Amino acid sequence: MDFRSYHGQICLSDDRKTAQFTHNPADSSVRQAGFVQIWVKLRIMHPRPTLLLDKTKCLANIERMARKAERHGLGFRPHFKTHQSAVIGEWFREFGISAITVSSFSMAEYFAAAGWKDILVAFPFNPADLDRLNRLSEHHAVSILVDSLETLQSLGKIRRRTPCYIDIDTGYGRTGVRSDDPDQVERIIKRSGAVVNLDFAGFYCHAGDSYRAGGEAERDEIHRKALSDLRALREQFRRSDPQVLYGDTPNCSTQEDFEGIDTITPGNFVFYDLFQCSIGSCREEEIAVTVECPVASKYPGERKVLIHGGAVHFSKEALQLDGTTVFGKVAAFGNGAGPVYLSEISQEHGILRNCPAEFFDRVRIGDMLRFLPVHSCLTANLMGGYVTTDGKQIG
C-alpha cells in the first residue's frame, strides 16, 4: 500500500512493536524509522470487516470519466448503483453532474431525498412500481426503460409526462429488444405514442458483453458493433429524434470512439475492482475501495491464514488469476512476496492458502489485512457503508 494520511497503528518490520502515528505523505520519517509497506493495524478502530474508501482515488476516477465525456462532447449520467451513497453522490456535483442513473425505484427514492432531480431508472419498468413512479414524478424528472409491448399496457395511469427509453440489446443477452429487430422497436415506439403522458426519448444500451471479452481486440469489436447497431437504429427512427444513452465501465474507460452516442452512463468506474483491472479497464492503483479484515488464525503446516471476511462481505463473485480462484487480493504487500489471494470463502470465513513464506511469517493473529474486492458493486452493497482512509464514516 502507498502511505497516505492514515491515523492508527503500523507494524514495525524489525521487532513487531506497534507505534501510534499520524502520517503526512510528504514526511519520509516513517520509512526512516524502519517501517515497511505491509499493512496498517487498526484493531481498535475497525475490529470487524470494514469497507475502506480512498476518497482521493475515487475523486480521480470521477474526474477522469467526467473529463472524457466533456472531451467527446457527451452528456454524463453516471450510474449510482455501485456506491449507493448520498455522500459520494455529492462528490459528483463537483464535476457538474446533475442527472443520474439508478437500478431500482428504491434507489431512485433514496437519491431523490438527497436532492437529485433528474433520475433514470435503468431497469425494465415493473408495473408494480406504477404508484412509486407517480409519487416520485410529482417533483422530479423520472425516466424509465421499457422493452416490452405488454409493459406499455400498464403505463396508462401515469400522471406526469415521463420520458421512456427503449432498452436495446446489442449482444449482451440480458435484457432489451435485440438491435437486429427494428420491427419490434418500431412497434414499441408507436405504442408508446398512444400512451398518455409517455414520451419516447430514445435508446438505452448497456453493452455488458464487454465484461466477457477474451481480450482487447474482442472488447473493441463488441464496442464497435454496439455503436454501429445504435447508429443504425438512430438513423432508421430519426424522425422521432431519439437520444442514445450508452454505458458500461469497460468500454467507457478504454474506448475513444463514441460516434452516435449522446450520453454515457457507466457506474463501476467510481471504485473499479479486481475484475475491471483484470480486463484492462483500470490499473490496480486506481481501485478506490478495499475490505479490511482481521486475521483470526494461522495454520503453519499449510501456510494458511484465516480471516474474518466471507461471502457476506465480499460476495461470492470470483476470478481466475494465476490458476487460482480469487475472491480478493491482499492490497500491495511489499518486499517482493508476490500476490496473496483470498482463495476460499464461506459465510463469515475467508481462507488464504499456500501463502508466501515471508507474508505468512510476518502476519499475526489480530492484524488487519486490506483486500481488493473482485466486484466492488456487490461488496459495497453488502457492506452498507464506508470508512474513508482518514477515518470518516459515511453512508
Enter the DSSP assignment of 245: E
Residue 29 CB coordination number (10 Å): 10
Q: Where are the domains of the chain?
A: 7-54+283-394, 55-272
Structure confidence at residue 35 (pLDDT):
31
Residue 116 CB coordination number (10 Å): 23
Structure confidence at residue 47 (pLDDT):
76
Domain 7-54+283-394 sits in CATH 2.40.37.20: yes
> Along the chain (395 residues), what's the average pLDDT of each consecutive run of 10 residues?
30 32 36 35 64 98 99 99 98 98 99 99 98 98 98 95 99 98 98 97 98 94 98 98 98 98 99 97 97 98 97 98 96 69 98 95 95 98 96 92
Is it true that 7-54+283-394 and 55-272 share their CATH fold? no
Instruction: Assess contact for 299 and 349: CB atoms under 8 A.
Output: no
What does the chain come to in residues? 395
Beta bridge partners of 105: none
The grid cell for 62 is 470521477
Structure confidence at residue 371 (pLDDT):
97
Helix (H) or strand (E) segment spanning residue 20: strand 18-22
**Closest by Cα among 58, 233, 237 to 246:** 233
Instruction: Assess contact for 270 and 242: CB atoms under 8 A.
Output: no
Cα R_g (the chain), whole angstroms: 23
Structure confidence at residue 333 (pLDDT):
59
CA distance 223 to 280: 14
Structure confidence at residue 345 (pLDDT):
98
CATH topology of domain 55-272: TIM Barrel (3.20.20)
**Closest by Cα among 247, 278, 82 to 170:** 247
CA distance 375 to 359: 25
Stated pTM of the model:
0.88
Enter the DSSP assignment of 336: T
Distances (CA, A) of 175 to 127, 182, 183, 245, 290: 16, 16, 17, 15, 31
